[in-house]
Amino acid sequence: MVAESGFGTGLNFLTLWQAFDQFREAHPQAQLQRLHFISFEKFPLTRADLALAHQHWPELAPWAEQLQAQWPMPLPGCHRLLLDEGRVTLDLWFGDINELTSQLDDSLNQKVDAWFLDGFAPAKNPDMWTQNLFNAMARLARPGGTLATFTSAGFVRRGLQEAGFTMQKRKGFGRKREMLCGVMEQTLPLPCSTPWFNRTGSSKREVAIIGGGIASALLSLALLRRGWQVALYCADEAPALGASGNRQGALYPLLSKHDEALNRFFSNAFTFARRFYDQLPVKFDHDWCGVTQLGWDEKSQHKIAQMLSMDLPAELAVAVEANAVEQITGVATNCSGITYPQGGWLCPAELTRNVLELAQQQGLQIYYQYQLQNLSRKDDCWLLNFAGDQQATHSVVVLANGHQISRFSQTSTLPVYSVAGQVSHIPTTPELAELKQVLCYDGYLTPQNPANQHHCIGASYHRGSEDTAYSEDDQQQNRQRLIDCFPQAQWAKEVDVSDKEARCGVRCATRDHLPMVGNVPDYEATLVEYASLAEQKDEAVSAPFFDDLFMFAALGSRGLCSAPLCAEILAAQMSDEPIPMDASTLAALNPNRLWVRKLLKGKAVKAG
């Protein structure tokens, strides 16, 4: 694992990647099979400028082209790029390195094998070379970890020595007479900065995943890539028969000016999802046609205006006036809004099925019609009891079974709820066939899928319900919401739902609209250990949880956007790897967050 203080054009990374490939080719049986590179950049280049810079090094073109293809938007925070079929991981942290290193999650502590320091002389970038940075580098370096920098400035050497590195000067390169190298001889155990949100992985590499939808499918891939032995238990006779079984689902971020964690998570989740889906080696119906969210009433107009005031990159979202909506969407709405040009739609059912087929080719074992009844600890493992007196024992378990997540004794107190909804499938018409983008209003409407000449319109919303029976009322309401939002649009009135084609599903959601990803928390132990948390934060122990039991749940209505990044986060946590998310945003995904927030304020906590 290598970390770098300034990415620039990525030349250090590309050269290292080239050397890594050459090493693997010469030593195919070597233990070293994966490269993880972490870099910080305050002023990221545009993709065009990056490509222009790379023209000076044609020998690096095979690697540079892959980097350019996945180059992220200039959004603050961490952007994880999975390169070379996942053998190379690049974490790009956009922002000031001195600010970012203070925001890192503890998962990066004592993990870095080598540090590359910025090639610019300190005089050209004085704000970066601080004692805080040197201390952060020491915190992240593993015992025996090294560093190298072109500079030989005395204050840099002294600062790194003060941080704990053993430093020495060496002969420099080119016109540089001297350079600095260092090694972290020994490190001390580091306290957890926020123990109530602590995340713990597993020393084991064998896991059972409970589920059968997009969450379990993507997590299977992420764990297999890390060398895990994975078994999947699905309650149904086939995958994607639950909330992941829709024909079409929209992909776009959930933005909020007033919820920083939600905004940061979904912005980065959306960009990660697009990169992930684009490089996924499976076929599934999709069209990155764009998504337009319309201000159909005063409340929605105000919400969109607030989103647009956040200075978003044009690649992520742009304002669209009412007279331009028809041009970009193909239909008249008489509404202004916000457009996500890189959004679109995909078929969740097909995606889930084909991802699981790919995972099976990589070693995944799938067991269908295995309904988990309960699970308990037995000899440092988990004993799984299924309907029909079937049993299995596994070292690690992940619960990724949607709205059924709270049906076990370990999860019955989780603050999640079910939402039943019906999506209507409507045949296209000459007017609807003109729709070029996904429309979002008080519902959503997709362009037709060429595979079946149907659109999806929905969805009804019944909080607390798990009813999946067809509803004629819901069918008519899906149509009526479209008409009510666009009363002047004749094409909306021609939508036909009379053939009763629809699909009903149940989602799992939380009141703060964020997923729950991580260790399954122990509710009773949390109340006991944190009874005085508000007054005794400094004495807090690590968050109580069930050993080797994890969860991936509450994706709500944005699972297509959030699932890829959540799978990567959980797989990294389980494998004791750096997590691609800042600490505060990651805390907002912790399954215990709603309890802990109240306990930190000295408030009472109720189950569920």
pLDDT tens-digit readout, 560-580 = 999 999 999 999 999 999 999
Q: Which residue, 509, 524, 541, sits at the end of a domain?
A: 509
pLDDT tens track for 49-105: 999 999 999 999 999 999 999 999 999 999 999 999 999 999 999 999 999 999 999
Strands (E), 428-544: 438-440, 444-445, 454-458, 462-463, 502-509, 516-521
- Establish if 439 belongs to a structural domain: yes
- Establish if 591 belongs to a structural domain: yes
The DSSP code sequence of 234-258 is ESSSSSS-SGGG-S-EEE-----SS
- Establish if 116 belongs to a structural domain: no
Query: Do 498 and 515 have their domain in common?
Result: no
- Establish if 60 belongs to a structural domain: no
Query: Do 383 and 515 have their domain in common?
Result: yes
Average pLDDT value over all residues in the chain: 96
Radius of gyration of the chain (CA): 25
β-strands 344-346, 286-287 pairing: antiparallel
Q: Which residue, 450, 474, 509, sits at the end of a domain?
A: 509
Q: What is the pLDDT of residue 265?
A: 98
- Counting the structural domains of the chain, the total is 2
Which CATH number covers residue 220? 3.50.50.60
Mean pLDDT in residue range 584-605: 96
| Residue % of the chain over a pLDDT of 70 | 99
Query: Do 582 and 538 have their domain in common?
Result: yes
Mean pLDDT in residue range 583-594: 98
Query: Do 448 and 535 have their domain in common?
Result: no
pLDDT tens track for 271-288: 999 999 999 999 999 999
- Establish if 307 belongs to a structural domain: yes
- Establish if 174 belongs to a structural domain: no
Tell me the two tokens of residue 552: 């991936």
Query: Do 436 and 493 have their domain in common?
Result: yes
Query: Do 397 and 494 have their domain in common?
Result: no
Q: What is the pLDDT of residue 190?
A: 86
Query: Do 501 and 535 have their domain in common?
Result: no
- Whether residue 414 is predicted with pLDDT greater than 90 in this model: the reply is yes
Q: Which residue, 509, 532, 562, sits at the end of a domain?
A: 509
- Whether residue 11 is predicted with pLDDT greater than 70 in this model: the reply is yes
Mean pLDDT in residue range 425-442: 96
- Whether residue 433 is predicted with pLDDT greater than 90 in this model: the reply is yes
pLDDT tens track for 38-64: 999 999 999 999 999 999 999 999 999
- Whether residue 15 is predicted with pLDDT greater than 90 in this model: the reply is yes
Are 183 and 165 in contact by the 8 Å Cβ rule? The answer is yes
Query: Do 309 and 431 have their domain in common?
Result: yes
- Establish if 556 belongs to a structural domain: yes
Query: Do 453 and 595 have their domain in common?
Result: no
- Whether residue 120 is predicted with pLDDT greater than 80 in this model: the reply is no
Which CATH number covers residue 305? 3.30.9.10
Mean pLDDT in residue range 335-361: 98
Q: What is the pLDDT of residue 581?
A: 98
pLDDT tens track for 178-220: 889 999 988 778 888 899 999 999 999 999 999 999 999 999 9
**Residue recorded with tokens 């890539």:** 225
Mean pLDDT in residue range 493-508: 95
Domain with 408 in it: 195-242+350-416+511-600
Q: How does residue 122 score in pLDDT terms, banded at 50, 70 and 90?
A: confident
Report, in this order, helix, strand and coil percent for the chain, each rounded to 5: 35, 25, 40
Give Cα 185 to chain centroid, integer Å.
35
Nearest to 344 by CA among 290, 300, 422: 290
- Establish if 330 belongs to a structural domain: yes
Q: What is the pLDDT of residue 134?
A: 95
Query: Do 307 and 445 have their domain in common?
Result: yes
Query: Do 433 and 333 have their domain in common?
Result: yes
